Chains A and B, each alone.
Chain A
Amino acid sequence: NAGVMQNPRHLVRRRGQEARLRCSPMKGHSHVYWYRQLPEEGLKFMVYLQKENIIDESGMPKERFSAEFPKEGPSILRIQQVVRGDSAAYFCASSSPTGGAHNEQFFGPGTRLTVL
């Protein structure tokens, strides 16, 4: 009865390196959402994916950030050439495709990215 799983829980990168954050949705969920929480801020929507499709990436920075949700395996949020401003908590959420007009989103524990 596992919930949304994210790994790693903590990630430290030096400026210029790449960060890869993984998210496994709840069983039976095919919709994945990524949110970012900067220090002292609320969570901000980044991207919404379904299997093999990006539905809405309007909240994602245009450069260095990309996301995917392949047919098999977890969803990946990739940040290239990280900068200090990327330091944040990144939360993944998932929902069922049959959840009605306002699908409840279940959140994972987050990945805390620190850029040195």
Chain B
Amino acid sequence: DQQVKQNSPSLSVQEGRISILNCDYTNSMFDYFLWYKKYPAEGPTFLISISSIKDKNEDGRFTVFLNKSAKHLSLHIVPSQPGDSAVYFCAASGSGGSNYKLTFGKGTLLTVNP
């Protein structure tokens, strides 16, 4: 029962172009969404987050969009750089007492080609 789905296992883009990573969720109790970046042999590193009261959050080259009605969020990276090559995990948490419990997708491997 996957509550957070990343349907693209991999994505390849050219340096300088936009990378768009997608994520869908099924649990309507989720109200906080995060993106983590992970390099091989390292732990996930927090990238950007968005609360369900917003539909967009921007931080430098990274923007996360949330469409609550479609239960869909996306991460845009522009311009993409070779150093962005990593696995990107979408994660979600609910409100209230168990808001610490992150539910992760399976990840999307992004490769940015020079």
Q: Does residue A44 face the partner (Cβ distance < 8 Å to B)?
A: yes
Q: Does residue B68 face the partner (Cβ distance < 8 Å to A)?
A: no
**Interface segment, one of A14-22, A69-77, A78-86, A105-113:** A105-113
- CB nearest to A6 among chain B residues: B43
- CB nearest to A106 among chain B residues: B46
Interface size on B, residues (CB 8 A): 26
C-alpha spacing A101/B97, complex, angstroms: 10
Q: Does residue B44 face the partner (Cβ distance < 8 Å to A)?
A: yes
Evaluate whether A109 and B43 lie within 8 angstroms (CB atoms) in the complex, with A42-B107, A102-B32 already known.
Answer: yes
Number of A-B contacts (CB under 8 A): 59
28 contacts between A and B (CB under 8 A): A31-B100, A35-B104, A40-B106, A41-B106, A42-B4, A42-B89, A43-B91, A43-B104, A44-B104, A45-B101, A56-B101, A91-B43, A91-B44, A93-B43, A95-B100, A101-B99, A102-B99, A103-B100, A105-B46, A105-B100, A107-B36, A107-B43, A107-B44, A107-B45, A108-B43, A109-B42, A110-B41, A110-B43
Q: Which residues of A contact B (CB under 8 A)?
A: 4, 9, 31, 33, 35, 40-45, 48, 56, 59, 91, 93, 95, 101-110
Q: Which residues of B contact A (CB under 8 A)?
A: 4, 6, 32, 36, 41-46, 49, 51, 89, 91, 93, 95, 98-107
